[in-house]
Amino acid sequence: MSRARVARRIAAAAAVGGGGISLLGGAAVGLVLAEVRLARRVVGGSGDVPPRADGRYGSAFARPGAEPPLRLVLAGDSTAAGQGVHRAGQTPGALLASGLAAVAERPVRLVTVAQPGAQSDDLPRQVELVLESGTAPPDVAVIMIGANDVTHRMPLATSVRLLADAVRQLRAAGVEVVVGTCPDLGSVEPVYQPLRWLARRLSRQLAAAQTIAVVEAGGRTVSLGDLLGPEFEARPRELFGPDNYHPSAEGYATAAMAVLPTMCAALGMWPLADERPDARRGEGFLPVAQAAAEAAGTGGTEVTAARDTAAGPRGRWALVKRRRRRPLEQEREDVAASGGGGGDGGNTGATATGGDAADAADRSA
């Protein structure tokens, strides 16, 4: 069965509250469980508390009478929280807040509700924190979730339903939502076959199903699977952290640079010329399930609901964007030149070695 059809089945089961879809026969279960036990001995994850990155970024853009800071929320699991790095400026939240401040030329207030170890069943609690804090809803929320659902064998349909519910709640409150879909767990170096094959298959099927559900709930997705797959496999010592599971500072920067253009576009702050699909980059309109399947296999691919297009015989349609990804060094130079350094203390927050938020003079938790 094609990835698009499986993804659509999972999303459909999620919509009606169904359970998971079995991918393994009984004969394979024993071998896979043995591999799981071996992998857990080698890859235990990190018990470190992620550095605190909450606060204000881009104070250079604060001027008398200017618009108030944009509000950015990071929700999800340890990847969204930035587990595995030691400086606040290296976390995805700090990188995205610095980048958004540079693009918008406006300060950004970052709040992180992501929880290391979280599965999708923690999203209701996180959304409640975002929407019932007594303050106005944020302008945009970035969610990264799914890896722990796979490793803890949560039924895929349940995982997708919980994510879709969270997106709908946020969108109903007027929050733009960008979801970084489930990363490719088959790229974790110490994991061997056949678990590596199964982890990759489950990760990509979940990512595709997440895309369908998020787009239909009014959000946008960015595929992290393939982005953090071949690149991580080719450069594991650079892009994985010391625990061989979470990204390194360089790995988080790679992911953040993939999410940043979509986040800016959701807020209407990306160049209009880049919003038109470019056939030379493989962009265009596809049925949602097909778009989701393609995105799951191509890192950095954005999927969003197609505007002004009626549902056709194959269901709703989506716009597939493959936003340009420039070398990380070029991104660093551009953000530094724009004055969007994170930490509000002169450091470049959109780099893998950004300034520590704890040293930022004008941030408040």
Contacts of 200 (CB under 8 A, 6+ apart): 184, 185, 186, 187, 229
What are the Cα distances from residue 168, in Å, to 162, 173, 351?
10, 9, 32
- The pair of structure tokens assigned to 176 is 């733009």
State the greatest distance between any 2 C-alpha atoms of the chain, in Å, as a whole number.
68
Reduce the DSSP state of residue 31 to 3 states and report it: helix
Q: Do the strands 284-287 and 317-322 form a parallel or antiparallel pair, or are they unpaired?
A: antiparallel
Pick the closest to residue 248 from 173, 328, 159 (CA basis). 328
Length in residues, the chain: 365
- The pair of structure tokens assigned to 101 is 């401040």
Cα–Cα distance measured from residue 259 to residue 340, given in angstroms and rounded to the nearest whole number? 17
Cβ 82 vs Cβ 319: under 8 Å? no
Q: Which residues are catalytic?
A: 78, 243, 246
Cis peptide upstream of residue 116 (ω within 30 degrees of 0): no
Quote the strand ranges of the chain, DSSP E.
55-57, 70-76, 108-112, 140-144, 176-180, 220-222, 284-287, 301-305, 317-322
What are the Cα distances from residue 276, in Å, to 71, 218, 307, 319, 321?
27, 19, 12, 10, 9
